[in-house]
Amino acid sequence: MCNPDLDQLPSIDDECFAELRDVMGDDFADLIHDFLSDVPVQLDLLQTAIDREDADQLYHAAHKFKSSCGSIGAPRLAELIRRLELAGRQKTLGSSAELLAQARAVAAETMAGLHERLG
């Protein structure tokens, strides 16, 4: 399976972001605010799964969160979460704590970029 270089992925895909803004219209800001408030919750769910060494919980939490990241145009965060999803599916949690630490840093960067774009 392809493992894209994280440095080549933008925190926010501006084209996707603009397209979503056009499609969502007046509901766009609410969608982004909902995503922003959900990010810490999702990261905590991933942390809990890792702490419990619960691969199935990690897989399911990551799968849901990955979709959200992809939908709003956050490809770098989506890729990190995809890697956590894969670790859960394959039941190989060895590097999951490190991946989650990276995801937290990228999530902070992504959230800052979203706030900036909302104005």
**Which amino acid is located at 34 in the chain?**
D
- Cα-based distances in Å from 94 to 34, 53, 99: 31, 10, 10
pLDDT of residue 83: 96
Among candidate residues 79, 96, 77, 87, the one with its CA nearest the CA of residue 56: 87
Residue 111 in this model has a pLDDT that exceeds 50: yes
Residue 21 burial class via C-beta count within 10 angstroms: exposed 0-12, middle 13-18, buried 19 and up: middle
Rama region for 5: left / alpha / beta (φ>0; ψ in -120 to 50; rest):
beta
Q: Are 84 and 99 in contact (CB under 8 A)?
A: yes
Residue pLDDT, tens place only, 17-27: 999 999 999 99
Mind listing the pLDDT tens digit for each residue in 44-69?
999 999 999 999 999 999 999 999 99
